[in-house]
Amino acid sequence: MTGWRIIFMGTPEFACPTLQVLIDRGENLVAVVTQPDRPKGRGQKLMPPPVKELALGHGIPVHQPLKVRDPAFIEEILRLEPDVIVVVAFGQILPKALLEIPPYGCINVHASLLPRYRGAAPLNWCIVNGESETGVTTMLMDAGLDTGPMLLSRSTPIDGDENIVALHDRMAAMGAHLLAETLDGLKSGSVAPREQDNALSCYAPLLKKEDGLIDWSRDARAIHDQVRGLCVWPGAYTFMDGQVLKIFRTRTGSGSGQPGTVLRADKGAFEIACLTGSIIIEELQTAGKKRLDAASFLAGYPVAAGSLLGIDGNGEGAAQ
């Protein structure tokens, strides 16, 4: 426990382990700041962010500003007199006026080995790009996008078949423990900020729907990485018989043929040719239908070997 007055800013599930660690350590959490409740599901019912639910469950005051640049919100933070602000996947850019409030700074837990993969979706792009290693970094925030001085970092290997769901959960837990270590190190003076080498940086932009479109004229390994990196959203997808076909789980094979060609479609495998090698689809879904394993899908939707995936509703090749 540091004894500092701490404000925590975070929104999704990824931020919850760090907030829980601060609670378990008995830190003086004077407030939690999170995004406003958003409509979700078919009924569009307003739902609270996961961080809000966790905070209220422990009696911590919650603030949900529409915009953190609002002068009234900044005045409220000034009134709370935080020694440090901890930020984990909050979802808004913090203005300079807010960054300058806590004497020990705003500490961000970022899910990459900075300066690599600055931006909104570091874990997804790390997998999509076929990286074999990632990690988490704590940093002092500045006005740039993930450009502030680094405090601590921890690395971890990525298994070649690990998807974004599994990696997300591992990194959330790792980030929580690293934040605790960072606070202790700052308090004792054993942790000092280190400037980032901008020459080593790369960017991990917000995901777009079109990032999921499969180009079968790529290597099988690259497509497999795309599938496992985007399986939550937007999902990797192709076209079959003019319909969108979402693909959630794959493995690589050694088959060959014209890219996008169905090599096999039976109980043994649903195998598609790529530029080099092949993709064996293990879990998939068509529009309006249930998500199924390949065997169950093919039992109700026979696919002929030799047919071509990647043809959209206009009869044109998509990403070929």
Determine if the peptide bond prior to 82 is cis (ω within 30°). no
- Domains of the chain, start order: 5-200 (3.40.50.170), 209-300 (3.10.25.10)
- Cβ atoms of residues 171 and 136 within 8 Å: yes
Please say if the pLDDT value at position 40 is more than 90.
no
Query: Which pLDDT belongs to residue 319?
Result: 41
pLDDT digits (tens, 9 = 90+) for 49-100: 999 999 999 999 999 999 999 999 999 999 999 999 999 999 999 999 999 9
- Cβ atoms of residues 242 and 217 within 8 Å: no
- Cβ atoms of residues 97 and 121 within 8 Å: no
**11 vs 34, 148, 190, 289, CA distance in Å?**
5, 21, 30, 31
Query: Which pLDDT belongs to residue 300?
Result: 92
Please say if the pLDDT value at position 146 is more than 50.
yes
Two structure tokens written together for 283: 């879990």
Query: Which pLDDT belongs to residue 308?
Result: 96
Cα atoms in the Cβ-side hemisphere of radius 13 Å centred on 66 = 2
Please say if the pLDDT value at position 14 is more than 50.
yes
Query: Which pLDDT belongs to residue 315?
Result: 43
Dmax (CA) for the chain in angstroms is: 68
- Cβ atoms of residues 250 and 220 within 8 Å: no
Distance CA 123, CA 35 (A): 21
- Cβ atoms of residues 87 and 9 within 8 Å: yes
pLDDT digits (tens, 9 = 90+) for 268-314: 899 999 999 999 999 999 988 999 999 999 999 999 999 999 966 44
- Name the pTM for this structure: 0.94
Distance CA 109, CA 165 (A): 18
pLDDT digits (tens, 9 = 90+) for 157-197: 999 999 999 999 999 999 999 999 999 999 999 999 999 99
Q: Over range 93-108, report the average pLDDT.
A: 97
Query: Which pLDDT belongs to residue 312?
Result: 64
Please say if the pLDDT value at position 317 is more than 60.
no
Query: Which pLDDT belongs to residue 313?
Result: 47
